[in-house]
A and B are shown apart, each in its own frame.
Chain A
Amino acid sequence: MLEVLTDLIRHQDGYVELRYHEHRSNGFMAQKGRFDHSGSSIHRGVGIRVLEDGCWGFSSTSDLSPLAIEGGIEEARSSARSLSKYRMKKVKGLADAELSTLQYEDPAFGILMELSIEEKINRVIELERALAKEHSQIHTAMVSYSEIFEEKAVVTTDGAACSRKLVRPEIRTMAYFGEGSEQVLAGKAVGVTGDWAALFAHPESHNMIEETAREGLNLLKADHAPAGLKEVILAPSLVGLLCHEAIGHTVEADFVEAGSVAQGKLGQRVGSELVNLYDGGQPEMGNNPAGFLPFDDEGVSCKSSTIIEEGVLKSYLHDRESAAQFGHDAKGNSRAWAYNDEPLIRMTNTWLQPGELEFEGLLEGVEDGLLVLGAGGGQADANGEFMFGSSCAREIRSGKLGKWYREASLSGVAFDVLQSIDGVSKDFRWDLGSGYCGKGQSAKVDAGGPFARCKMMVGGRL
């Protein structure tokens, strides 16, 4: 499609962006000895965005013929002209950026495309059977596998002409223990960009069956976490959630403009000196993050953004419009989930840089606290208040790990929590790759980091 789009855009005036997107997904799920789901979907089309009279117009079509795409361009132009009567502040221009001409194909794309459906389904069945047999107290085991094959081509009138093929597989285990009102649910989930070698090399994939069972058995005996302000050590998945939910969203330039807590704070201290926080489509850390991107949906080559350096807020995340407005660089954070979605400012892979301490060194500093494991869902607010859940936690007493707790929710104010970080381990792990970020439309993202020690409110029982 790259050639078709390039040919079509040649005759267009002003700024026009054409994005071909094929989203092919497969999903399989086995549960309690049966096969619950074997499905596939293919959605393809072209998203068309134009900037005319200082206004954006967007249209999309699933008809890939040049005639239909040209019709879509006219529709988008007409929409932009309608808007121009109402918009107060016209878009003056887009920031210069490194526009990609890359034709990227991850070898994993071909490898997973070639792997037979039978082999994928058999792996799911085998894992479900193994999990069901792992412990007599498991009454229902469930294993699901999904993969998204994503083909994109982005062409703009000012020089982007790039294409990519990526695949993002995910695997998830869930086990229900106990019976009636005394049931608990334990589970593990891993997602990467890459093939099965990458997926099953992830640390969370190692002993996934045994670890799911171990967690469930511990939770069966566990009490609810005690409530109150606590010293906590966050596992890498929770550090990832903190980076993404509590910080990342507040520095997306559209949220900044709307008045987020990060507005006007560039150059100010927002965290302790141990806090170095980044976002990037092609991160320097770790392997195969689920949000890997060589270029974004405006065709901008992805580079890492330093959001916080030694505790000082350094930059926001931008698309080309906001980058021009702020006088910053666009580094590839404009993303659309499907062909019929318009690009929005989104994170890609967001991480906290590791420090110097061993994990044991972090534990030693805690008299009475919690080690929080297993990230659940999370949300953040414009004022920096955030909440996220975890499936389980462990007591820390005098630097030693103690009993298990179930269902701990954490909350705080983002920059206050960052200020309280007083220890960061030397480990590093991407650990949010099985999740999706929601902002009106989905986005595949990843986040992670080391273990980090800080203070947070724990919402337990009174």
Chain B
Amino acid sequence: MNPERSIQELQEINAWALERAKVMGADGAFVSSQQGMSSKVSYEKQDFSLVSSHRGGGISITIHKDERCGGVAVNSFDRPEIEKAVERAFDLARPTIPDPYIALAPYADYPTLVTPWDENLIEMEPEKLLKLLVKLMDVTREDSRLSLDHVAVDRSVGVRCISNSEGMLATDRYAQLNWSLMGMAIEGNEVTGFDYLGNRSRILNEAESLMESSARELSGRLLKQLGAEPLVEGYRGQVLLPPTLVEELLIDPLIFHLQGGQIMDGKSRLGESLGEKVAHENFTLKDEPHDTNLRGATGFSGEGIPTKAMVLIEGGKLKTHLDSLYSSRRRGTQPTGNGSGPHCPCLDSGEYSVEELVGLAGRPVLFPSRFSGNLDPVSGDFSGVAKGASLEGGASGSRPIKEVMISGNVFEILMNNMFMGKDRMTDGGYYRLPHVLADQVSVVSG
């Protein structure tokens, strides 16, 4: 695969599709196309199980006609297929309700991001992937109590191109190695719950040590769960949230309420809260879309709006909402290039180590590794099971705890005392978040 040539091909296909839409009578059109290849090796059922490979691509076309729109995606670049897709997009648009706020992004210059790009990943043979998988497995075989249900290493390389009839054109390319591990620890009759971990690297030479770190971290987490006991007494109070749960229980539901689309539909409780306190003063949330160490880094949004770094909440005060082109027109604001939320959410760190955060709690505090449950983004209510948890602090130090139910309300937690850890983690490259000692969580024994 030659990325430059592939991007050129996509630009030509997009231009052709836009032209067909115009000829067929569209007022405007948006086209997104991508092509790539991937190969994957996996380990399942205690053995190396499969080598697979895939090449493919596709195009999606959205046409605008008389303030209506319809979209069709096909996994083919055949011109007759694309022509049929454009025709069908008209069929899909015709019966819908006219909406004067539908629009296309104007031409824009995008910031140039210097994203790591390793040519070695482009023509990587499955044999090399298998060797990496063997090394990953070797780490987890160091302790016979570990049982891995699924381990996979995959390499994906691809390019994408978006363009529209207003002259907007943006292209992007990616080449990366991803890996994931899922397993449990078994000792005698005791079986821990599943846990999993994944990460990625854009540089082949850096992958090996990162993979080893992933394997060691998961092994440590699983072995720590052996000997878990039920929680004797429930409480309502503080829990120590790792970055994965900070994202799941605090950031994601909060983002729902910052989005212009939810505000215009009356679903957000923060629609009228610009400048107001919406979280504890230690809480400063940013979007850093040009941080190329994070997965979501991009110079343009999915609809072609240039991205920019933004402070969303500063010292607990709401600084901005997030708007797509559509929601901005509807609300009379400017699009921020965040139709589906922040690209790279980052929460400012605090001054405490994890041990110090435990010490701040003043009593043994639940430290879950994962959450399996339901969260209603509208009300902010959540309840479910804290998995891979331990009780930290007090006379007993650190003790693994069997599954316990936790519940609470995201907004109550945000407005109460919270303390941030000093080290931020990227967990798979999706964000940059610290540990957070949060309050007002019900922890149910039983």
Contact of B53 among A43, A44, A79 (CB under 8 A): A79
Neighbouring B residues of A340 by C-beta, 8 Å = 54, 56
The docked-state distance in angstroms from the alpha carbon of A206 to that of B178 is: 46
**Closest chain B residue to A182, Cβ basis:** B379
B383 touches which of A58, A59, A460 (Cβ 8 Å): A460
Q: Which of A45-88 contact B (CB under 8 A)?
A: 45, 55-62, 75-76, 79-80, 82-83, 85-88
Contact partner of B269 among A86, A181, A458, CB < 8 A? A181
Min CB–CB distance B331 → chain A (angstroms):
14
- A/B pair count, beta carbons within 8 Å: 242
Contact A259:B147 (CB < 8 A) given known A60-B54, A382-B193, A387-B384: yes
Residue of A nearest to B71 (CB): A39
A387 to B403, CA, bound (A): 10
Tell whether B188 is near chain A: CB-to-CB under 8 Å.
no
Closest to B44 in A: A254
Q: Which residues of B contact A406 (CB under 8 A)?
A: 381
Query: How many residues in B have their beta carbons less than 8 Å from beta carbons of A?
Result: 80
Interface of B is mostly: strand
A38 and B71 form a contact (CB under 8 A): yes
Docked Cα-Cα span, A82 to B41, in Å, equals 10
Cβ–Cβ contact A383 & B193, under 8 A: yes
- The interface residues of chain B lying within 8 Å CB-to-CB of A80 are 51
B interface footprint on A214-245 (CB within 8 Å = 1, 0 otherwise): 00000000001001110000000000000000
Contact at B75–A62, with CB atoms within 8 Å? Answer: yes
A411 touches B50 (CB 8 A): no
> Do residues A183 and B378 form an inter-chain contact, with CB atoms below 8 A?
yes
How close is A135's CB to chain B, nearest CB, in angstroms? 15
- B332 within 8 A of partner (CB): no
Task: Determine whether the beta carbon of A259 is less than 8 Å from that of B44.
Answer: no
The docked-state distance in angstroms from the alpha carbon of A58 to that of B36 is 17
Q: Does A257 contact B (CB under 8 A)?
A: yes
Q: B57, B75, B236, B266: which contacts A179 (Cβ < 8 A)? A: B266
Q: Is A438 on the interface with B (CB-CB < 8 A)? A: no
Residue A419 CB within 8 A of the other chain: no
List B contacts of A55 (CB < 8 A).
48, 51
B76 within 8 A of A: yes
- Assuming the contacts A255-B149, A407-B383, A409-B373, asked whether A56 and B50 have C-beta atoms less than 8 A apart, the reply is yes
Per the bound structure, the CA–CA distance linking A258 and B93 in Å amounts to 49
With contact pairs A140-B267, A227-B442, A407-B376 given, residues A58 and B51 touching in the complex (Cβ less than 8 Å): yes
Query: B46 at interface (Cβ–Cβ under 8 A)?
Result: yes
A30, A183, A376, A407: the one contacting B267 at CB < 8 Å is A183
Chain B, residues 249-272, CB within 8 Å of chain A (1/0): the string is: 000000000000000011101000
Whether, in the assembled complex, B108 has its beta carbon less than 8 Å from a beta carbon of chain A, the answer is no
| Chain B neighbourhood of A62, CB < 8 A | 56-58, 75-76
User: How near does chain B come to A7, taking the closest CB pair, in angstroms?
Assistant: 22
Cβ of B48: which chain A residues have Cβ within 8 Å of it? 55, 83, 86-88
Chain B residue contacts of A11, Cβ below 8 A: none
- B425 is an interface residue with CB less than 8 A from chain A: no
Digitize B137-164: 1 where CB-to-A-CB distance is under 8 Å, 0 elsewhere. 0000000000111100000000000000
Q: Is B99 an interface residue (CB 8 A)?
A: yes
Chain B residue at smallest Cβ distance from A81: B51
Q: Tell me the residues in window 68-84 of chain B with beta carbons closer than 8 Å to chain A beta carbons.
A: 68-76
| Residue in chain B with minimal CB distance to A411 | B385
Q: Please tell me if the beta carbons of A461 and B403 are within 8 angstroms of each other in the complex.
A: no
Which B residues lie within 8 Å of A407 (CB)?
374, 376, 379, 381, 383
Contact of A140 among B44, B55, B76, B266 (CB under 8 A): B266
Contacts of B265 in A (CB 8 A): 31-32, 139-140, 176
Binds B, one of A93-101, A114-122, A292-300, A362-370: A114-122
On whether the beta carbons of A342 and B50 are closer than 8 Å, the reply is: yes
- B56 smallest CB distance to A (angstroms): 5
Bitwise, A446-462 to B at CB < 8 A (1) or not (0) is 00000000000111111
A227 touches B405 (CB 8 A): yes
Q: Specify the chain B residue showing the minimal Cβ separation from A376.
A: B374
Say if the beta carbon of B92 comes within 8 Å of chain A.
yes
Closest to B147 in A: A259
- Give per-residue flags for A8-51: 1 if the beta carbon is below 8 A from chain B beta carbons, else 0: 00000000000000000010001111110011111111000000
Given A183-B379, A379-B372, A38 and B93 touching (CB < 8 A)?
A: yes
Q: Please give me the residue from chain A that is nearest to B442 by CB atom.
A: A462
**Interface membership of A372, Cβ < 8 A:** no
Provide the bound-state CA to CA distance between A122 and B94, in Å.
11
* In the assembled complex, B387 has its CB within 8 A of some CB on chain A: yes
Contacts of B73 in A (CB 8 A): 39-43
Is the CB–CB distance between A389 and B379 below 8 Å?
no
Query: B184: which A residues are within 8 A, CB to CB?
Result: 258-259, 382-383
With A and B bound together, what is the CA distance between A409 and B405 in angstroms? 8
Quick check: is A402 within 8 A (CB to CB) of the other chain? Answer: no
A92 to B91, CA, bound (A): 52
Question: Interface 1/0s, chain A 404-421, versus B by CB < 8 A?
Answer: 001111010000000000
Residue among B88, B194, B235 facing the most chain A CB atoms (10 A cut-off):
B194
A368-405, CB < 8 A from B: 376-377, 379, 381-383, 385, 387, 389
Question: Contact between A385 and B130 (Cβ–Cβ < 8 Å)?
Answer: no
B444 in complex: contacting residue of A35, A125, A181, A227, CB < 8 Å: A227
Check if A409 sits within 8 Å of B407, measured CB to CB. yes
Give the docked Cα–Cα distance between A149 and B378 (Å).
Answer: 33
**Which residue of chain A has the shortest Cβ distance to B184 in the bound complex?**
A382
Contact flags B31-57 to A (C-beta < 8 A → 1, else 0):
000000000010011111111111111
Of the A-B pairs whose beta carbons lie under 8 Å apart in the complex, a sample of 16, sorted by A's number, is A35-B99, A38-B92, A40-B72, A41-B72, A42-B72, A61-B55, A79-B53, A86-B134, A121-B95, A181-B411, A381-B403, A409-B373, A409-B405, A411-B405, A459-B385, A462-B236
Residues of A within 8 A of B (CB): 26, 30-35, 38-45, 55-62, 75-76, 79-80, 82-83, 85-89, 117-118, 121-122, 125, 139-140, 176, 179-181, 183-185, 224, 227-229, 254-255, 257-261, 340, 342, 376-377, 379, 381-383, 385, 387, 389, 406-409, 411, 440, 457-462
Q: A-B pairs with the 8 shortest C-beta distances?
A: A459-B405, A389-B374, A79-B51, A258-B149, A58-B52, A35-B96, A41-B73, A381-B193
